[in-house]
Structure 1
Amino acid sequence: QLSLPSSTEEKEVLVLVEPEDFLKRLLSLTQSFVNAPSASQPDLNQVLPLADVEGSSTKTYSLAIIRLDAYRCNQEHSRQQALSPGKQSSSSQPGPELCMTQEEILEVLVVLQLWGNIEVLFLDTWQEFGQHVSALTKAIAKRPYKRQLESQELPFCTAGAWASRVRMEKDSTGLRQVWKRQIQQFNRVSPATAAAIAEAYPSPSLLLQAYEECSTEDEKRLLLSDIPVKLDVSSKDHRVGPDLSRRIYLFMVSTDPDLILDLST
């Protein structure tokens, strides 16, 4: 008898909100600040379209708004046309939500982030939205596999072969490939980036020697940042960047087992 794998409902919820609806919800939340006590928690139910759904309190929300700036510009243009001679009407006045300044919108976004851990994504095209949904779905699908790997003790150390089938021979053949794969274990590191670092410093010991030759901490942290990364034949060179350079440096030299390398997690 075949047993079906158990399914678990994820906590992440991505909500697509129309620009007009989004601005109205922000305005409603802003107006609630006026009469609320200074130390009270804001009512975020006014912003979340699904806040009244059962189990919503355990969810982590992300709001996606497409072409907000274009919507505001179009509404302002329509209002200016309506105010032109011979076209003035009572409907030419903009809604109060369109009168919100950029500073007011940013203030509400800070409240959403701090009080509700709600991320707001401003996208320019539907293609960007589709790409974000694809990336989010892929990350969630990989999560059980990553959890399984993290539960194993040193999963990259196996007898005779590495976890990704990099063969370790007695003459040390394959060490450079293992070093490259080890670099790839850092978050947001592509194979091309790992290959570029391994090309510049073919082994961990050579990288440590390079750190010792640096005269300042800043120089050590930025040692790898300017290494060029070739993504493909036709693309321009990218760089490793200061964030990854800092994380690798801390990983190589720190003796603190509880040190958080990736500040974005």
Structure 2
Amino acid sequence: MVKTEEEKEVLVLVEPEDFLKRLFSLTQSFVNAPSASQPDLNQVLPLAGLEGSSTKTYSLAVVGLDAYRRCNQEQGRQQALSPGKQSPSSQPGPELSMTQKEMLEALVVLQLWGNIEVLFLDTWQELGQHVSALTKAIAKRPYKRQLQSQELPFCTAGAWASGVRVERDGTGLRQVWKRQIQQFNRVSPATAAAIAEAYPSPSLLLQAYEECSTEDEKRLLLRDIPVKSDVGGKDRRVGPDLSRRIYLFMVSTDPDLVLDLST
């Protein structure tokens, strides 16, 4: 089953001569029009008056405008040197006398009033590359829209912080939890592993806090968790300071709270 849908983006190819004439007509309409009146963009883009065009986003592509202007300016100089050979049809039109400032003002009007973007390209190859990129972006849009509609769009398959990979079945989440504990100052991998062993997820730790009856009991909940030492000898514990810091981190709503009193 193939589902078709009409896109909102419309790319219109305009010849340089036609574009300059339309742009010149637009600038001339500014002369006698009131300052607050809306310009008539149909002079530049006749498609804007069609039914359903209000929901479209138009882009004009003009290929070889600079080359066209240079060619006509050179012809104008040659005709000026030999005025006897000029014919009425060969004389340059008034649109070629537009200044850069006038063109920029007209382009701003198109952008602000009609949301019309004008793309100037030097070669047809550049036009082909632009059409290819635009088509590719439109083709990917349904897939990106589907990703954004998922319940957890930020939870993508791939690497998490510090390079921990999380699979779709949840494998790797415990390692992420251990890495999160290691973000605290002066916390070794062995200490983080001991806490994650006792409470394999943040939700289980929060549940343990809720079961405590006093505030002191909550702050010291992790104090006596044993930490395995790689170097044989002395047994270690998590300790009251780290237990307090993790508790405050998990339950506090104060963004300015300082967890580490030694800093």
- Which residue does the alignment assign to 1:115? 113
* SS at 2:81 equivalent: coil
1:27 paired to 2:24? yes
- Which residue does the alignment assign to 1:128? 126
Kindly tell me: are residues 85 and 167 of structure 1, through their superposed partners in 2, closer, same or farther at Cα, counting changes over 3 Å? closer
- Which residue does the alignment assign to 1:75? 72
Residue from 142, 153, 170 that aligns with 2:140: 142
Listed as ranges, the matches of 1:46-85 within 5 Å are 46-85=43-82
How many angstroms apart in 2 are the aligned matches of 1:106 and 1:45? 18
- Which residue does the alignment assign to 1:96? 94
Residue from 42, 45, 56 that aligns with 1:45: 42
How many angstroms apart in 1 are the aligned matches of 2:57 and 2:180? 39
How many angstroms apart in 2 are the aligned matches of 1:153 and 1:83? 70
List alignment gaps of at least 5 residues for structure 1: 169-173, 180-202, 210-254, 256-265
Kindly tell me: are residues 178 and 97 of structure 1, through their superposed partners in 2, closer, same or farther at Cα, counting changes over 3 Å? farther
- Give the number of equivalent residue pairs: 172
Deviations 1:97-126 (A, max 9, x none): 001011100000010111111111011111
Kindly tell me: are residues 60 and 87 of structure 1, through their superposed partners in 2, closer, same or farther at Cα, counting changes over 3 Å? same
* SS at 2:39 equivalent: coil
Bigger Rg over Cα: 2
Deviations 1:198-256 (A, max 9, x none): xxxxx999xxx9xxxxxxxxxxxxxxxxxxxxxxxxxxxxxxxxxxxxxxxxxxxxx9x
- Which residue does the alignment assign to 2:203? none
Kindly tell me: are residues 148 and 22 of structure 1, through their superposed partners in 2, closer, same or farther at Cα, counting changes over 3 Å? same
Which moves more between the two structures, 41-50 or 128-137? 41-50
Deviation of residue 176 (structure 1)? 1.9
- RMSD over aligned Cα, in angstroms? 3.1
Q: Share of identical aligned residues, percent?
A: 71
* SS at 2:48 equivalent: coil
* SS at 2:120 equivalent: strand
List alignment gaps of at least 5 residues for structure 2: 167-178, 186-254, 256-263
1:176 paired to 2:163? yes
Deviation of residue 178 (structure 1)? 5.3
TM superposition score normalised by structure 2: 0.58
Query: Residue 81 of structure 1 contacts residue 87 of structure 1 at CA under 8 Å; is this kept in 2?
Result: no
* SS at 1:15 equivalent: strand
* SS at 1:31 equivalent: helix
Deviations 1:136-186 (A, max 9, x none): 0000010011011001122353xxxx53xx489xxxxx952759xxxxxxx
1:152 paired to 2:165? no
Deviant stretches of 4+, over 6 Å: none
Aligned residue identity for 1:42: P
Residue from 97, 103, 106 that aligns with 2:104: 106
TM superposition score normalised by structure 1: 0.58
* SS at 1:122 equivalent: strand
- Which residue does the alignment assign to 2:5? 8
Aligned residue identity for 2:79: A
* SS at 1:152 equivalent: coil
Deviations 1:61-98 (A, max 9, x none): 00011111110000011122222237531335310100
